[in-house]
Amino acid sequence: MTDWNFNSIPDQSGRVAVVTGANTGIGFETAKVLAIKGADVVLACRNPDKAAEAARRIKALSPKGSVKVQPLDLSDLDSVAAFSDQVLRDLTRLDLLINNAGVMIPPFGRTQQGFELQFGTNHLGHFALTGRLLPLLLASPGARIVVVSSAVANSARIAFDNLNWEGRTYRPWEAYGQSKLANLIFAMELQQRLTGADAKLQVTAAHPGWTATDLQRSSWIIRALNPLLAMNASDGALPTLRAATDPDASGGSYWGPSGFQELRGRPVPARIPKRAIDRDVAARLWDVSELLTGVRFAIPSPGV
Ligand SMILES: NC(=O)c1ccc[n+]([C@@H]2O[C@H](COP(=O)([O-])OP(=O)(O)OC[C@H]3O[C@@H](n4cnc5c(N)ncnc54)[C@H](OP(=O)(O)O)[C@@H]3O)[C@@H](O)[C@H]2O)c1
């Protein structure tokens, strides 16, 4: 379907969703729509005031589903562990994990554990979160993980020889591209591993083309072009929502806008760059991500 929109989203009553970075932009719109459609939504956010305000705004729309805030800072693996432990204590099912939060081209910085900020937040934080929540996701029939990537992944590469930008000039776009390619590789590889284990849990991915949000806070040029070229956040959330809720979105599918260069438009299948499905690269990224985060994925053996 090429005109997939809000009305295409099936009822989500009884489903439980965690959305990272849900206080603003695409994450906010995603959480809002899921709650309106009946899902119980956990807003996983680093700033408690912004998160409380987002929850208040969603609740004011009288959604069918409940809305709850829980602190999560993806740039701190201890926070990821604390968040996950709380989710595993509180919830008996998890139907949707939406790995949405992200930072783009910030000034050079490091996470709590010393990783370059974009790779550490966008990829490693979500890798650790997904690994820790995997047992609950595996135990929830019909569950899906959605990973939000970016079209910049198409021209990016993973610099395994220096993931952490030690002793080398920081190039913010290169680091962002690397982190978003890592998101997409992770999504495709996790689906492969789950399929190999006969697990029913699905992993899909999405990118929002060009959407005007706070993400562009570090680039005045992009902000200046937003009124001409960008979608609004509610349209920008549709690829994520399709990846999360379309019954026909199969594991390993990737969704993005339909228009020129996948920048704007309705959500349709997106082009998956070859480098995102290179299994050798994926295995290398997986191993280094487990090593750096200390989180190992408990994927069952087939038939177990
Ligand atoms: N907008 C676009 O054109 C575009 C294009 C391609 C891909 N994307 C991707 O879409 C996703 C959503 O971005 P957006 O455009 O909606 O940007 P946004 O409006 O800036 O939202 C990003 C969200 O991530 C949160 N976040 C950042 N660092 C975090 C951390 N350490 N721990 C927890 N949450 C953190 C932010 O929290 P704060 O509010 O506290 O900062 C915010 O809630 C990102 O993955 C981005 O890479 C966006």
Mutate to test the pocket of ligand 1, among 57, 214, 222, 255 (most ligand atoms within 8 A of CB): 214
Is residue 225 pLDDT above 90, yes or no? Answer: no
In the annotation, is 170 catalytic? Answer: no
Is residue 226 pLDDT above 90, yes or no? Answer: no
pLDDT category, 35, cuts 50, 70, 90? very high
- At residue 301, the pLDDT reads 78
Is residue 220 pLDDT above 90, yes or no? Answer: no
Bridge partner residues of 96 (DSSP): 17, 144
Q: Are 102 and 114 in contact (CB under 8 A)?
A: no
Of the listed 176, 186, 254, 255, which one is catalytic? 176
Backbone angles phi, psi at 168, to 5 degrees: -145, 145
Measure 25 CA to ligand 1 centroid, in angstroms: 7
Mutate to test the pocket of ligand 1, among 19, 20, 24, 186 (most ligand atoms within 8 A of CB): 24
Mutate to test the pocket of ligand 1, among 42, 207, 213 (most ligand atoms within 8 A of CB): 213
b/e sequence 5-24, b meaning 16+ C-beta within 10 Å: eeeebeebeebbbbbbbbbb
Helix (H, G, I), strand (E, B) or coil at 110: strand
Give the chain's mean pLDDT.
96
Is residue 2 pLDDT above 90, yes or no? Answer: no
Tell me if 299 is assigned to some domain. no
Is residue 26 pLDDT above 80, yes or no? Answer: yes
Measure 11 CA to ligand 1 centroid, in angstroms: 26
Ligand 1 binding site (Cβ under 6 Å of any ligand atom): 20-21, 23-27, 45-47, 50, 72-75, 100-104, 121, 148, 150, 207-208, 210-211, 213-215
Tell me if 90 is assigned to some domain. yes
Tell me if 67 is assigned to some domain. yes
Tell me if 298 is assigned to some domain. no
Q: Are 252 and 155 in contact (CB under 8 A)?
A: no
Tell me if 139 is assigned to some domain. yes
Q: Are 18 and 140 in contact (CB under 8 A)?
A: no
- At residue 304, the pLDDT reads 53
Euclidean distance between CA atoms 12 and 291, whole angstroms: 36
Is residue 60 pLDDT above 90, yes or no? Answer: yes
**Where in the sequence is the domain holding 172, given as residue range(s)?**
12-293
- At residue 303, the pLDDT reads 59
Tell me if 300 is assigned to some domain. no
Measure 261 CA to ligand 1 centroid, in angstroms: 21
- At residue 300, the pLDDT reads 81
Burial class (CB within 10 angstroms; exposed 0-12, middle 13-18, buried 19+) of 164: middle
pLDDT tens per residue across span 264-300: 999 999 999 999 999 999 999 999 999 999 999 988 8
pLDDT category, 62, cuts 50, 70, 90? confident
Q: Taking residues 91-116, report their average pLDDT.
A: 97
Q: Taking residues 199-208, report their average pLDDT.
A: 98
- At residue 27, the pLDDT reads 98
Tell me if 229 is assigned to some domain. yes
Helix (H, G, I), strand (E, B) or coil at 197: coil
Q: Whose CA is nearest to atom 24 of ligand 1?
A: 101
- At residue 155, the pLDDT reads 95
Tell me if 2 is assigned to some domain. no
pLDDT tens per residue across span 134-153: 999 999 999 999 999 999 99
Q: What is the enclosing helix (H) or strand (E) of 227?
A: helix 220-229
The structure tokens listed for 100 are: 């949405």
Split into its structural domains, the chain has a count of 1
Which domain CATH number covers 156? 3.40.50.720
Q: Taking residues 216-237, report their average pLDDT.
A: 90
Q: Whose CA is nearest to atom 2 of ligand 1?
A: 211
Backbone angles phi, psi at 37, to 5 degrees: -80, 0
Is residue 115 pLDDT above 60, yes or no? Answer: yes
- At residue 207, the pLDDT reads 98
- Select from 113, 38, 115 the least CA-distant residue to 77: 113
